């Protein structure tokens, strides 16, 4: 075992954890329509416990569904009827030696009237959260006391259900956070004004839980040590809060950051370095003697171990990393870190429709749909294409027991992921490509690089099935002039086949590759104008990530035109129409198209003339995202026998 600090036992209150790995609270939408624990939710958490995680903290759990709701299908503990579900969840987690805390939550002003059936949101004071845009109603003193009791009753229910402890959500701008902040708590009663009064709400929750559940029932608090918002909590005030909380009996602190006005600091985009928030935990650990949990896009076991070794924190939260790979802890313990599928911070889990999902783990949130793989006969399968979809297909087929041969026409695996060049994001994409490449080696997939598959090669192998993951080719927009010699596709630049220096270059498109191309051209000494045009990949980027990318581009003196239409490209200019319909002529030396990809699938028709079982996935099937490629590869491989049977039944009918 390489990571001795990571796998030391540790205590939070009187609860002993088998290691220092914490799964923090993250919303899943896997609860039932009325907030109840479901079988899907149990299995989701159970897999993370089975994978070796020491402590699992449930997603935020409502103690007041009428006024405190934070999302649809939010988990609830505000009524005794929810006890049975939590009892079943606790039993599932405890089977594997893991411990379970429930995060108790009230959204306060960060709810909205739509979630509350039209009712006005509530808060300590009528201070509007800019990100929500609704003025809250100030809670009466009696209502404040009632909410305190709801937190306490929620904790009592947790103890009755066999839960090991609770975490009070005092971070991210929610109700407890609002009481702590001098700019969100303007009250003049006993719960506002000076520091002690602002602390009273949280203090009475903590002391009430201890009185009802016993001193040995752990209570931790999650805090935004820095809200990164004007008027919000800063490090010095959070140090004072932390010292106070230790005195009133809190058993541990979970050091986070941000609120809804600075949500990119809560759930980080790919542009944030690993562990960027650890300094916040370190600042608090220097002030208190109770355990501190660090968080912040933490991915690599060696990095986690170094945090603990340097005593920057007592425990480390692996959040999205455990969505991407439920076995993160076990693989690290068994010195199999090369087999960890590390989260790339792409935010797909946040923006996915329905329940939680992951762009690189198709089973996330669907664990009941896809149980353990069943062994099959050792048939020969051919995968054409070594991008993420093709490699995911080959990985799952090999795990099932098939003999897999993979053809890739270039010298390296990775497909479109090789073209990402935003420095921090590229590193994370390299993690994923390396993971899949090493899986190909470990599972003994027969690789043929620098080999464009031909029908003759496929016929010689006589495969049981063929999966075509041949990817896409650059999409050429319907713009007059795209065929001119001064117009180039982004791939040509990425491969170094074309360079520019001190030229006026227009980059057309949107998305990570587009923005990276513009930045790189500017760094090389060119005068760059980004003409932002809608693309599939561009529409998948969140508002705050896009804003951060644009800030970086502007620092490189890239001019950004987001509201122009392109009429025509000329040898020395681009003709545009601005938002008012005025025609604008932009002088250029060259243009680069970054509009995404169109399907490239030259083998499908001929393969279907020779083989019964031919399947197309990823960009080759018309999709344009990593998540779609991964999902297509996983599902095709997992369900292959069913798909083959269905094809036969259609033929017979």
The torsion angles phi and psi of 531, rounded to 5 degrees, stand at -100, 100
Q: Give the E-state strand segments of 469-514 in sequence order.
A: 472-474, 487-489, 504-509
CA angle 430, 348, 38 (to 5 degrees): 125
Beta strand pairing call for 573-577 and 583-587: antiparallel
CA proximity to 628, closest of 552, 537, 566, 506: 537
Task: Using alpha carbons, select from 288, 290, 251 the residue that is nearest to residue 164.
Answer: 251
Length of the chain: 653
Query: In whole angstroms, what is the distance from residue 547 CA to residue 198 CA?
Result: 34
Specify whether the CB–CB gap between 289 and 251 falls below 8 A. Answer: no
- Residues 184 and 116: beta-carbon distance below 8 Å: no
Q: Is residue 232 within 8 Å of residue 181, measured between CB atoms?
A: yes
Residue environment code for 527-562, b if the CB has 16+ CB neighbours within 10 A, otherwise e: bbbbbbbebbbbebbeebbbeebbebbeeeebebbe
Closest CA to 618 of 341, 387, 448: 387
What is the Cα–Cα distance from 21 to 52, expressed in whole angstroms? 9
> Would strands 487-489 and 590-594 be described as parallel, antiparallel, or unpaired?
parallel
Question: Which residues participate in catalysis according to the annotation?
Answer: 174
Q: Report whether 278 contacts 313 (CB < 8 A).
A: yes
Q: Residue 466's beta-bridge partner residues? A: 382, 614
Distances (CA, A) of 456 to 10, 462, 602: 60, 10, 14
* 483 Cβ contact list (under 8 Å, min separation 6): none
253, 290 Cβ separation under 8 angstroms: yes
Compute CA distances 323 → 344, 552, 623, whole Å: 11, 29, 23
Which residues in 418-449 are b (16+ Cβ under 10 Å) and which e? bbbbbeebbebbebbbebbbebbeeeebebbe
How do strand 10-12 and strand 15-17 relate by DSSP bridges? antiparallel
Contact in structure between 221 and 291 (CB atoms under 8 Å): no
Largest CA distance in the chain: 83
């Amino acid at each position: 075992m390489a990571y001795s600090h990571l796998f030391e036992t540790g205590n939070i209150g009187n609860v002993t954890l088998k290691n220092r790995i914490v799964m923090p609270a993250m919303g899943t939408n896997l609860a039932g329509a009325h907030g109840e624990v479901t079988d899907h939710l149990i299995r989701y958490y159970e897999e993370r416990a089975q994978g070796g995680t020491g402590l699992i903290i449930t997603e935020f759990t409502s103690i007041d569904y009428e006024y405190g709701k934070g999302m649809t299908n939010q988990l609830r503990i505000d009524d005794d009827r929810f006890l049975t579900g939590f009892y079943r969840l606790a039993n599932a987690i405890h089977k594997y030696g893991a411990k379970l805390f429930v995060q108790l939550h009230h959204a306060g002003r960060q709810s909205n009237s739509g979630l509350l059936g039209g009712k006005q949101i509530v808060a300590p004071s009528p201070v509007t959260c800019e990100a929500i845009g609704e003025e809250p109603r100030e809670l009466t003193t009696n209502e404040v006391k009632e909410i305190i009791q709801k937190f306490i009753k929620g904790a009592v229910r947790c103890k009755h259900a066999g839960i090991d402890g609770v975490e009070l959500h005092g971070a991210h701008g929610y109700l407890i956070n609002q009481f702590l902040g001098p700019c969100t708590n303007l009250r003049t009663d006993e719960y506002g004004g000076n520091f002690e009064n602002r602390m009273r709400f949280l203090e009475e929750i903590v002391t009430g839980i201890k009185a009802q559940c016993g001193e040995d029932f752990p209570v931790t608090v999650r805090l935004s040590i820095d809200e990164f918002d004007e008027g919000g909590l800063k490090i010095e005030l959070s140090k004072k809060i932390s010292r106070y909380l230790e005195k009133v009996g809190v058993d541990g602190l979970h050091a986070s950051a941000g609120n809804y006005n600075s949500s990119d600091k809560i759930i980080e985009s790919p542009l944030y370095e690993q562990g960027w928030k650890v300094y916040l935990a370190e600042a608090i650990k220097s002030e208190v003697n109770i355990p501190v949990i660090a968080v912040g896009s933490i991915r690599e076991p060696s990095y986690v171990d170094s945090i603990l070794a340097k005593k920057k924190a007592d425990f480390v939260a692996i959040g999205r990393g455990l969505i991407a790979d439920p076995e993160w802890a076990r693989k690290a313990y068994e010195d199999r870190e090369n087999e960890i599928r590390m989260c790339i911070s792409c935010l797909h889990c946040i923006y996915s429709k329905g329940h939680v999902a992951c762009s690189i783990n198709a089973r996330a949130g669907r664990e009941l749909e896809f149980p353990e793989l069943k062994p099959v006969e050792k048939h020969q399968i051919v995968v054409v294409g070594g991008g993420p979809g093709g490699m995911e297909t080959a990985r799952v087929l090999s795990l099932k027991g098939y003999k897999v041969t993979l053809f890739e026409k270039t010298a390296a695996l990775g497909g479109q992921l090789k073209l990402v060049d935003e420095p921090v994001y590229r590193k994370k994409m390299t993690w994923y490509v390396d993971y899949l490449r090493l899986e190909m080696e470990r599972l003994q997939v027969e690789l043929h690089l620098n080999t464009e598959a031909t029908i003759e090669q496929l016929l010689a192998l006589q495969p049981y099935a063929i999966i075509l993951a041949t990817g896409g080719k650059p999409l050429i927009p319907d713009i007059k002039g795209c065929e001119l010699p001064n117009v180039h596709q982004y791939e040509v630049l990425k491969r170094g086949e074309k360079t520019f220096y001190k030229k006026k270059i227009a980059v057309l498109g949107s998305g990570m590759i587009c923005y990276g191309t513009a930045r790189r051209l500017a760094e090389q000494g060119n005068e760059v104008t980004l003409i932002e045009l809608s693309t599939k990949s561009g529409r998948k980027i969140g508002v705050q990530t896009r804003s951060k990318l644009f800030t970086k581009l502007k620092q490189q003196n890239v001019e950004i035109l987001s509201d122009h239409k392109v009429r025509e490209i000329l040898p020395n200019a681009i003709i545009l129409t601005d938002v008012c319909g005025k025609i604008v002529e932009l002088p250029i030396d060259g243009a680069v198209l970054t509009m995404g990809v169109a399907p490239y699938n030259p083998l499908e028709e001929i393969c279907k003339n020779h083989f019964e079982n031919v399947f197309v996935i990823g960009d080759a099937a018309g999709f344009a995202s990593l998540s779609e490629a991964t999902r297509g590869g996983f599902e095709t491989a997992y369900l292959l026998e069913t798909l083959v049977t269905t094809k036969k039944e259609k033929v017979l009918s």
